[in-house]
A and B are shown apart, each in its own frame.
Chain A
Amino acid sequence: MNDQTVTIKVPPIAAHLAVLRTAVGGIAARDRFTLDQVDDLRMAVEEAATQLLRHSGGSPIVMDVTPTDSGLEVRLSADVPGDVRIIDESSFSWMILRALADDLSVESLQTRTTVVLGKKRLAMARDAE
């Protein structure tokens, strides 16, 4: 995260996930991502946020979107009580996210679970500047 980071926090209600999806689409579009990539990111955010929502015990879901040299880093996090490991590497979600994002990791710090998605800008789009 840096001073360019956009942070959005929504209550854990399914209808609000659309806000996260729309926001990440808007940010990626302005960062000269291609249509395919914008759609990938939106879908990835929806998938990750849905999984967090399902396991968060009523805690808000926070999304941080940070521009990096190569693209965007999206961190989605929520408090996940208990010993639940969401999106482990054998899950369908992991496979979906793996296809949609260029980088993927899940971090757990005490009860805080964070899904980190990285999407690289296409070199072609950057050169066209």
Chain B
Amino acid sequence: MTAQYTREDTKDLFARLQATGDQSYREALARLHLPLVEYLAKRFKDRGEPLDDLIQVGSVGLLKAIDRFDLDRGVEFSTYATPTIVGELKRYFRDKGWAIRVPRRLQELSLRLNKIIAQLTQDLGRSPTIEEIAKMAGVTQDEVLEALESGQAYSTTSLDAPAGDDEDAPMRMDRIGEEDLRLDNLEYFASLAPLIEQLPEREKMILGLRFFRGKTQSQIAEEVGISQMHVSRLLARILDFLRQGMEGTAEY
């Protein structure tokens, strides 16, 4: 029953699903759009994950799209579903980046340290020492350092999604206001200009704040509205990208 469906069938199935809530229509819609999932999953097949797994992950995105789709919007379902499916696939690689390289206890410690670092920075009015962080977290300095290193490891795994626990935090670009964010000084380095152009706006801004304005990581974290550890990861990644770029092999 899969191949014969048309767009009209899709509309018809959605109308029935929304009228009756009968789950068999949901399943029929999922089967009908499996080729879309397969098509999108194939775009991620060069990243070392079995295609079957990717199709499974994409199917989760498809089901989410089916559940959220509103027939009255007048858009084609495939148009609506594509970003949801791709989003699910990207999330999978992002989570996988953590899961492969970083043990769970370190992930958890990392997230906990984020909060502690933010609190200490506020209380002390400066960046805390590793000793102060360890004391407040009730762990050893080595564990703190290990958690910080694990953040660095993660930063190199995911190249197309911004890394981080707090990436969904609102970007506080507005707070920077009309301040000139162009990196005039960098134009001096002609070979770098095209590379910097490839960086997302936020990364450009962080690069400029750290290396031209001389702001500390804590100050940048406050200004941009992300954690210090996230700033650290982004900076390491940006520098790595620029270094590779000068060798001609970079892709951000």
Contact = CB atoms under 8 A, between A and B. Distances in A.
Interface of A: 22, 25-26, 29-30, 32-40, 43, 46-47, 50, 92, 95-96, 99, 122, 124-125, 128
Nearest to A92: B189
Nearest to A32: B129
A125 B242 contact: no
A32 to B, nearest CB: 5
A108 B228 CA distance: 36
B139 interface: no
A32 B131 contact: yes
B145 interface: yes
B12 to A, nearest CB: 58
- Residue in B127, B217, B228, B232 whose Cβ sees the most chain A Cβ within 10 Å: B127
Contact of A96 (B128, B131, B149, B239): B239
B145 A29 contact: yes
Contacts of B250: none
Q: Would you call the interface of chain B mostly helix, strand, loop, or mixed?
A: helix
- Residue in B131, B142, B144 whose Cβ sees the most chain A Cβ within 10 Å: B131
Interface residues of B, number: 31
Contacts of A50: 243
B216 A36 contact: yes
Interface in B21-47: none
Interface string B137-158: 0000110110011000000000
B239 A125 contact: no
A25 B145 contact: yes
B236 A122 contact: no
Nearest to A22: B149
Interface in B206-245: 210-211, 214, 216-218, 228, 232, 235-236, 239, 242-243
